[in-house]
Amino acid sequence: MHGFRGERLLMRIHIGSEDRWEDRPLYEAIIELLRREHFAGATAFRGILGFGASAKIHRGSLLRLSSDLPIVVECVETDERIRAILPRLDEMLGGGLITLEKVHVIMYRANLPETERTDSWPIDTGT
């Protein structure tokens, strides 16, 4: 998928591990939405410590598996596709933060054997 290279948007969605959407973890629902919409990929990261607008510290401990730990869902896609999905994400998020930033994709491909790769990592910075 060489056409994915170039200027894209990185979307980060900051939520809590206890946030829910339709009786399931919100981060799972978001990942599944992005997959259904054929986004290039998405990853959910669980934080070990954090706080948000409430200024309440959320932390993991050995005695508890979770204490509404911070979750960040990231994906990289085209500007148009990210902006098109924002209204649906707005419906799903009761609280949280979504950020967007421009990124430059230099490589995106499936894990191919060396014999099937057509190029190395050509970096075109556009300058």
- Reported as a single tens digit per residue, the pLDDT across 52-111 is 666 666 666 555 555 678 899 999 999 999 999 999 999 999 888 999 999 999 887 766
User: What's the rounded Cα separation, in Å, for the pair 58 and 16?
Assistant: 9
Closest by alpha carbon to 102, among 11, 5, 1, 36?
11
Nearest Cα neighbor of 103 from 6, 3, 1, 2 is: 6
Residue closest to 39 by CA, chosen among 77, 5, 67: 77
DSSP state string for the chain: -GGG-EEEEEEEEEEETT-EETTEEHHHHHHHHHHHTT-S-EEEEE-SEE--TT---EE--SS-S-SS-EEEEEEEE-HHHHHHHHHHHHHH-SS-EEEEEEEEE--------GGG-----------
The domains of the chain, with CATH numbers, are 2-108 (3.30.70.120)
- Cα radius of gyration rounded to whole Å, the chain: 17
In this predicted structure, what is the pLDDT of residue 108? 76
Each residue of 18-50: pLDDT tens digit? 899 999 999 999 999 999 999 988 999 998 777
User: Rounded to an integer, what distance in angstroms lies between the CA atom of residue 16 and that of residue 73?
Assistant: 11
